[in-house]
Chain A
Amino acid sequence: MSNAPQPPGTSGSAATPDGDSDLDLTLLEPVEHPPVEDWTTDLDHTISDYAQNAPEIWAELRDECPVAHTDRFGGCWFPARHEDVSSIAHDTENFSSRGIIVNDMGFRGESPVGFAPPITSDPPFHQIARKLLLGPFSPKAVAALEPATRETCRSLIREMLAEAADNDGVVDAATAYSQHIPVRVIARMLGLPETDGEKFRAFIHRILEKPGQVAVTPGETMAAYLEGVILERVDEPRDDLISYLAHADIDGMPLTPDHVFGSIALLLIAGIDTTWSAIGASLWHLAQNPRHHEQLRTQPELWPFAVEEFLRFYAPVTMARVVQEPVQVGQAEMSPGDWVLLPFPSANRDPEAFEDAETFVIDRQKNRHAAFGLGIHRCVGSNLARMELRVALQEWVAAIEAFELADEDPEAVRWATGQVRGPRELPVRILGATPPQPTTQPTGA
């Protein structure tokens, strides 16, 4: 009998649209999401009204209703303050990660492994699954990826400036620049074609932005896409992360097929629109704050602080947990099975935790931000994301001397719904730029 793992389609656990499935399929009849009238009693993070106004909603909740609730999604809590977000993130006894994406399908995985280890895993399995990924995403491993990332950014900027030149200087910085950077970086790490970016974005839209709300056929699922790739790497390993996971072991035992698939799905899904959102939101900020743009062009010593302040102020990711035991948080009495959103972006703007919390301070010296989470589930890709954000912004400000929002109204920018928030369309007008030179000879590869 072969020790090699089989892809998920052959393991008897392929996605089915019932409560035991994964998030890759949709409800046959999508649930209605009517407009919200009161965020304290009926919060819905999957509608555009939330995405467009989130910072104001968070501020209102922190002041007036620190642990909000909605009956949507089968019952979901929203603790808005840093103190509660932190205590829940650190309490893995009462709050399980078996469900991390609040959805209409009622889908929660099984503790302690979950459907996408380690992000969906609980102790003690969590640490075992996490250990497999820490090496490839450590700061020193990530540093080796910086030159190629920089070249990717330069080449995108050259293409983008050519496009802008034909369009009165106007270009969409989200679709022409920020979205491609993480797609190319993670595709290279996983060993997937960079040209499959459209497919990756379709998976992400369906799974993260509108969980369970978009129709899909089984052939279009992420499981169907990854199944063939994993089989290939099982037979013919290459120097990539899919091959590494397909042949990894835990104490000499091969990973289960579901574990291999789940971890790869996690790396594909979690690394893309999160980073895309952070880059896009930072560019949105710079477009409206030319003084900060100029400071970054002339004071390179600001970068270590500025990157962390972008992460604090525009943290894209809200995670979720499932209540395991009856537990009280503030005035809220939570019951087993309830969803709890962990809005790290709201925690990051809590005046109890940060001085001048609602002000972007480019050289903030005390910044214990929670953009990458708190507790044992700290984002495993945080070093990669931080490097991509820094390089993307450094290359942008080096090439673009001045730019502004193409539409004067900042609210015209469309922010993504769901648990990852960032601008999905960001039309800007380039007011002055010098196209970057290639640092290496094009290889044509």
Chain B
Amino acid sequence: MRIEYDRDACQGHNRCYLLAPEVFDVDDEGYAVLRITGEIPSELEEKAKLAVDNCPEYAITVVQ
């Protein structure tokens, strides 16, 4: 499982950073930064999915 992040759609709600800080960092302006661009380790999959399910702008998607 991988995560795709759309910087243009992101409005800086920071929900992903709060729910899955191992997968998402946040820059100085509050926009998300994807920390893991490759395969998400299995122990973080649940957290990554949680981030996807809580993004108000649908800026994050799961790619299998």
Please tell me which one of the listed residues B14, B19, B53 contacts residue A383 in the complex, with CB atoms under 8 A apart. Answer: B14
Number of interface residues of B (CB under 8 A): 20
CB distance A135 to B28 under 8 Å?
yes
Question: Given contacts A382-B13, A383-B14, are A367 and B29 in contact (CB under 8 A)?
Answer: no
Q: In the complex, which residues of chain B have a beta carbon less than 8 angstroms from the beta carbon of A137? A: 30
CB closest residue in chain A, given B26: A139
Q: In the complex, which residues of chain B have a beta carbon less than 8 angstroms from the beta carbon of A367? A: 53-54
A28-83 CB contacts (< 8 Å) to partner B? none
A106-134 CB contacts (< 8 Å) to partner B? 131, 134
CB distance B53 to A365 under 8 Å?
yes
Asked whether any CB of chain B lies closer than 8 Å to the CB of A336, the reply is no
Selecting from A202-210, A257-265, A372-380, the interface stretch reads A372-380
Q: In the complex, which residues of chain A have a beta carbon less than 8 angstroms from the beta carbon of B54? A: 308, 366-368
Q: In the complex, which residues of chain B have a beta carbon less than 8 angstroms from the beta carbon of A369? A: 56
B21-54 CB contacts (< 8 Å) to partner A? 26-30, 50, 53-54
Q: Return A111 CB to nearest CB of chain B, in Å.
A: 20
Q: Return A215 CB to nearest CB of chain B, in Å.
A: 39
Q: Return B9 CB to nearest CB of chain A, in Å.
A: 10
Q: Return B32 CB to nearest CB of chain A, in Å.
A: 10
Q: Return B64 CB to nearest CB of chain A, in Å.
A: 19
CB distance A304 to B28 under 8 Å?
no
CB distance B55 to A368 under 8 Å?
yes
CB distance A366 to B11 under 8 Å?
no
Q: In the complex, which residues of chain B have a beta carbon less than 8 angstroms from the beta carbon of A376? A: 11
Asked whether any CB of chain B lies closer than 8 Å to the CB of A291, the reply is no
Q: Interface residues of B: mostly helix, strand, loop or mixed?
A: loop
CB distance A140 to B13 under 8 Å?
no
CB distance A138 to B50 under 8 Å?
no
CB distance B11 to A378 under 8 Å?
yes
Report the contact-size class of chain A (Cβ under 8 Å from the partner): 20 to 34
Q: In the complex, which residues of chain A have a beta carbon less than 8 angstroms from the beta carbon of B15? A: 308
Please tell me which one of the listed residues B13, B18, B55 contacts residue A304 in the complex, with CB atoms under 8 A apart. Answer: B18
Asked whether any CB of chain B lies closer than 8 Å to the CB of A370, the reply is yes
CB distance A372 to B26 under 8 Å?
no
Please tell me which one of the listed residues A370, A374, A382 contacts residue B14 in the complex, with CB atoms under 8 A apart. Answer: A382
CB closest residue in chain A, given B15: A308
27 contacts between A and B (CB under 8 A): A134-B12, A134-B28, A134-B29, A134-B30, A138-B29, A139-B18, A139-B30, A140-B26, A304-B19, A308-B15, A366-B53, A366-B54, A367-B54, A368-B54, A368-B55, A368-B56, A369-B56, A372-B56, A374-B11, A374-B56, A374-B57, A378-B12, A378-B13, A382-B12, A382-B13, A382-B14, A383-B14
Q: A134-B12, A368-B55 are in contact. List 18 more A-B contacts (CB 8 A).
A: A135-B29, A137-B30, A138-B26, A138-B28, A139-B17, A139-B18, A140-B26, A140-B28, A304-B18, A308-B54, A365-B50, A366-B53, A366-B54, A368-B53, A368-B54, A374-B57, A375-B11, A382-B14
On B, residues with C-beta under 8 Å from A are: 11-15, 17-19, 26-30, 50, 53-58
